[in-house]
Homo-oligomer: A and B are copies of this chain.
């Protein structure tokens, strides 16, 4: 998966929200659907797109399909941004902030 498709898949706000809800917490489709005001097929379609981009994993268990986010799939996106993000001092300051927050 190249960054081209990542940008496209993440461009839709609903799909991005679906991804965000799946970060750190595995959810079944119906549980996930509860958070949105769209139909179940719409949720499944977003999940299929996210899955094609490698952004979510699927785990089948009986009738249920459990999905979880794979943030590592964002790496190509980070790589692309890194190529064009100058202003490294600010960047490093930002990173320090994040690390500081993680220490707490």
Interface residues on A, range: 20 to 34
Is the CB of A13 closer than 8 A to any CB of chain B? yes
Given contacts A11-B8, A16-B7, contact A82 B69 (CB under 8 A): no
Is the CB of A77 closer than 8 A to any CB of chain B? yes
Assembly CA distance A84 to B13 (angstroms): 15
Q: In the bound complex, do residue B84 and residue A74 qualify as a contact, i.e. CB atoms below 8 Å apart? A: yes
Interface residue SS majority, chain A: helix
A26-40 Cβ-contact flags toward B at 8 Å (1 or 0): 000000000000000
Partner of A84, one of B69, B84, B85: B69
Residue ID in chain B nearest A15 by CB atoms: B7
Residues of B within 8 A of A7 (CB): 7, 10-11, 16
Q: Which 3 A-B pairs have the closest CB atoms?
A: A7-B11, A11-B11, A8-B11
